[in-house]
Structure 1
């Protein structure tokens, strides 16, 4: 399958490599570009622990004092360790599980948390921690700036209906795609495509577009998103047994009306 990779670098290259390993052809189509934001001086002076909700924020830990780190998921935890963090607690991939982890491990103790984050933050981690009696401060260390329009080459491929699928890993990316496609008057070009989404929240942002199918990952991991593409492609495109489901479902027939696959 020819698959759009909508992530920005450097994560896009890793996703593209994994798609090639699985027998797909990745097509780069980043919907944002990441810009670094210098944190204010003394950002960690009074921090008891750090919250990190994206691998993109993890490199900033290298310049900060050693403190316990609470990472939103496994990929973010790996990035935190790579940046030098020695104590990393890992949640299950979304902000609610991170809040639950923090509260469970710090019951009865008032902790001053500094959240290293992007400019756009979803969820109410701040409210959950304040309710539990903790101090919370968010520090913006990067921003993901949305692209203004789709490239000419991508529009031509959409017009020729040569793209089979696209991956969407965040609600914001899905929302940007929906806006750009609508502005370019290319909604009908979605009809032969499968959208592989990280979560139901991501899928909801795409509901207005006539995808052949909208498939939601069974867990909050990039591999789980790609697994849904493998299932749609059929076993002939899965060279590695480790990615072959025990009972692979048949490829979903293409249709004009979007149908969300069961999680």
Structure 2
């Protein structure tokens, strides 16, 4: 959609690798959208062959972790325990048959692992970014789990905003901004200060995946900030619909 079409205008801040499903959902719901990815995802080539044999299961806290694992190994025999449904769908697309979703955040994933995995049966492999939200290994260590967390991709903070996004903010055309991670939110705040766009957000609603995400944008002046009742894209989009409807009635 283009900015000149009718309908609420939403700013997507997710990395490009994670945006296709979200943008399709926005199109289906009749939103216009602009994108300003706050993180660029890089998948370095593996330095050596990966041996999956020591592990009893895989842990995925993002779809990018699944994409990175695909470069490490073609083995799909181990169970894949995923933080949410989008990550679980990516696992199934990559050929995993035994996939479980916590349908939530890392606390829900830790609970799922405790319920489904016996720590005495061996370690778990967690392919992740260098910086992650929360310490999943620390949560599970007290229960006797051994988590081998390895950095398999980089999420690099962007240092610019697209010109069309800057123009739309200056003109107060954007109705809502979507935030899916604390680091994405932090990067957005830095860029707002860098471009001196603080005053452009007074009429904008911030739609956040979790309280942790909301806390990272709290020093900006928004029309309102909102948190999804569950940390999933489905609930975030439902919240967006409620906010936009309320603003237009």
Please give the TM-score of this superposition, normalised by the length of structure 1. 0.84
TM-fit CA distance, 1:65: 5.0
**Residue 241 of structure 1 aligns with which residue?**
none
Partner of 2:240: 229
How many residues are paired up? 238
What's the offset of the Cα at 1:13? 2.5
Equivalent residues of 1:110, 1:133 under 8 A apart: no
Q: Which of 103, 108, 112 matches 1:92?
A: 103
Which residue is equivalent to 2:44? Answer: 37
Give the deviation of 1:43 after TM superposition.
4.2
Indicate which of 191, 216, 219 corresponds to 2:227.
216
Q: Which residue of 2 aligns with 1:54?
A: 62
Could you tell me which runs of 5 or more consecutive residues in structure 2 were left unpaired when the two chains were aligned.
1-7
Q: Which residue, out of 199, 203, 206, partners 1:195?
A: 206
TM-superposition CA deviations, 1:163-219 (whole Å, max 9, x none): 111100111111110111011111111101011111111111111010101111111
In structure 1, the residue corresponding to 2:206 is in which secondary structure? strand
Query: Please, what TM-score do these two structures have when normalized by structure 2?
Result: 0.89
Tell me the distance in 1 between the aligned counterparts of 2:180 and 2:119: 35
> Could you say what the CA RMSD is over the residues aligned between the two structures, in angstroms?
1.8
Are 1:4 and 2:16 an aligned pair?
no
Instruction: State which drifts further: 32-41 or 114-123.
Output: 32-41
8 Å contact kept, 2:119–2:146:
no
Aligned counterpart for 2:30 among listed residues 17, 23, 29? 23
Q: List aligned pairs for 1:149-164, cutoff 5 A.
A: 149-164=160-175
